[in-house]
Amino acid sequence: ARPRVGYYYSGKKPGRVLAEKLHRILVGDVKSVPVVVSEQCTIYDAVVTMFIEDVGTMFVVREGGFLEGVISRKDLLKTTLGGQDIHKLPVGVIMTRMPNIIYAEPDESVWEAARKLIMHEVDALPVVRPVNNENGAADLEVIGRLSKTNVTRLFVELGEGND
Amino acid sequence: ARPRVGYYYSGKKPGRVLAEKLHRILVGDVKSVPVVVSEQCTIYDAVVTMFIEDVGTMFVVREGGFLEGVISRKDLLKTTLGGQDIHKLPVGVIMTRMPNIIYAEPDESVWEAARKLIMHEVDALPVVRPVNNENGAADLEVIGRLSKTNVTRLFVELGEGND
């Protein structure tokens, strides 16, 4: 039978409708601008940058903006507590280094990226674009940041129901 | 309960359906256990507790578990950087103190709490139950924690579409 006006065909539970909607929102639609430092940046300068930019996670890049490492507020707090000379120690010594970095790409769903945040217990992911290098491998150009704040903001926007 | 047929009444845009579903999920359904310290706890001990419990925000309570303050990883990082004696300085000196604390109650929606997280730029809210004291005012008993991690985890669960 054809649906009457005021009804529409579903055959799916509402939870399923919601789930499919969530899967259609892409990382590229909600990502933030990345905050990056170089590997030689001192711990002290990294903390200052983190406060000025007001982020919880920064990415360590080499020339060309390619991903080398990730450094979190938690990593920095552990180091400042340790009594080391934070004016001399570079972030390269304490950062999480490739290939142990979880990242997202702009055309994957925010849902998939959110799942990575939860599964790997990190606050933010670098959003990257793979670029083939002369060795036939891929370098990861950092083009954004996807954090629990982005997911929370999206959750709030979806609850406004304006779309 | 919705009729178990292949059609269901709508008359609403899917975005509206999603929004209403989000508003029905309560803070009490997704909150985590709070991590609390006393006002006399030193900065050093607070950082150690934060690492052991693996949280980004802790609540400062007085006897009875009543809310006095909030302390974040960011507050602690600022203090450890400042070169103060973190083995002597108590958290009471640097915490955000009542009445300047944003909180949530268990029967409000996660959406409303998420909006507070975004609007006030905090990572977590204490979940409290107001208890009238002898002065006719309300003390806030800390009964949980609602963070961007809880919101992100809920977002992931909603995307699984199993409910």
Share of chain B above pLDDT 90, in %: 76
Domain of B46, in residue numbers: 26-160
Q: In the prediction, which pLDDT does A137 show?
A: 85
Is residue B7's pLDDT more than 80? no
Sign of CA dihedral B69, B74, B77, B83: negative
Q: In the prediction, which pLDDT does B31 show?
A: 98
Tokens of A12: 């799916």
Among B4, B8, B20, B75, the residue to mutate for chain A (most A Cβ within 10 A): B8
Please count the residues of chain A.
163
Report DSSP letters for A111-145, one per residue.
HHHHHHHHHTT-SEEEEEEEEE-TTSSEEEEEEEE
What are the chain A neighbours of B8 within 8 Å (beta carbons)? 7, 10, 14
Cβ separation of A115 and B21 shorter than 8 Å? no
Cβ separation of B156 and A76 shorter than 8 Å? no
Let me know if residue B44 belongs to a domain: yes
pTM attached to this predicted model: 0.91
Tens-place pLDDT, residues B72-115: 999 999 999 887 889 999 999 999 999 999 999 999 999 999 99
Let me know if residue A43 belongs to a domain: yes
Q: In the prediction, which pLDDT does B81 show?
A: 87
Q: In the prediction, which pLDDT does A157 show?
A: 95
What are the chain B neighbours of A117 within 8 Å (beta carbons)? 152
Let me know if residue A98 belongs to a domain: yes
Q: Give me the number of domains chain A comprises.
A: 1
Kindly provide the b/e burial profile for residues B118-138, where b requires at least 16 CB atoms within 10 angstroms of the residue's own CB. beeebbbbbbbeeeeeeeeee
For residues B87 and B48, what is the distance between their CA atoms, to the nearest angstrom? 11
What ranges make up the beta strands (E) of chain A? 7-9, 36-37, 57-62, 66-72, 96-97, 124-132, 138-147
Please count the residues of chain B.
163
For residues A45 and A76, what is the distance between their CA atoms, to the nearest angstrom? 11
For residues A144 and A28, what is the distance between their CA atoms, to the nearest angstrom? 8
What are the chain B neighbours of A21 within 8 Å (beta carbons)? 14-15, 18
Which residues numbered 111-140 in A keep a CB inside 8 Å of some CB on B? 111, 114-115, 117-118, 121, 123
Is residue A140's pLDDT more than 80? yes
- CATH number for the domain including A91? 3.10.580.10
pLDDT confidence bin for B20, thresholds 50/70/90: confident
Cβ separation of B73 and A78 shorter than 8 Å? no
Let me know if residue B114 belongs to a domain: yes
Q: CA of B159: which chain A residue's CA is closest?
A: A19
What are the chain A neighbours of B85 within 8 Å (beta carbons)? none
What are the chain B neighbours of A118 within 8 Å (beta carbons)? 149, 152-153, 156
Let me know if residue A121 belongs to a domain: yes
For residues B124 and B104, what is the distance between their CA atoms, to the nearest angstrom? 10
Q: CA of A159: which chain B residue's CA is closest?
A: B19
For residues B69 and B90, what is the distance between their CA atoms, to the nearest angstrom? 12
Nearest to B19 among A50, A77, A161 (CB): A161
Which residues numbered 37-96 in B keep a CB inside 8 Å of some CB on A? 44, 47, 50-51, 54, 56, 73-74, 76-78, 80-81, 86
Tokens of A41: 């940046």
Instruction: List CB contacts of A163: < 8 A, sequence separation 6 or more.
Output: A157, B15
Nearest to B161 among A18, A117, A152 (CB): A18
What are the chain A neighbours of B122 within 8 Å (beta carbons)? none
Tokens of B76: 């602690």
Let me know if residue B20 belongs to a domain: no
Let me know if residue B61 belongs to a domain: yes
Using CA atoms, how far residue A97 sits from A56, A60, A94, A101, B55, in Å, is 17, 9, 9, 7, 23
- Name the more confident of A104 and A11: A104
Q: Is the peptide bond before B106 cis (omega within 30 degrees of 0)?
A: no
Q: Which residue is it, tokens 């390269």?
A: A92
What are the chain B neighbours of A51 within 8 Å (beta carbons)? 74, 78
Tens-place pLDDT, residues A68-123: 999 999 999 999 988 788 999 999 999 999 999 999 999 999 999 999 999 999 99
Identify which of A93, A81, A2, A85 has the alpha carbon closest to the alpha carbon of residue A44: A85
Q: Is the ipTM of this complex over 0.85?
A: yes
For residues B122 and B69, what is the distance between their CA atoms, to the nearest angstrom? 14
Let me know if residue B3 belongs to a domain: no
Q: What are phi and psi of A126, to 5 degrees?
A: -70, 140
Identify which of A11, A53, A21, A32 has the alpha carbon closest to the alpha carbon of residue A152: A32
Q: What residues does A146 pair with on adjacent strands?
A: A125
Instruction: List CB contacts of B93: < 8 A, sequence separation 6 or more.
Output: none
Using CA atoms, how far residue A120 sits from A19, B44, B89, in Å, is 22, 27, 34
Q: CA of B151: which chain A residue's CA is closest?
A: A152
Nearest to B77 among A7, A77, A114 (CB): A77
Helices (H) then strands (E): counts for chain A = 6, 7
Residue B158 contacts A, CB cutoff 8 Å: yes
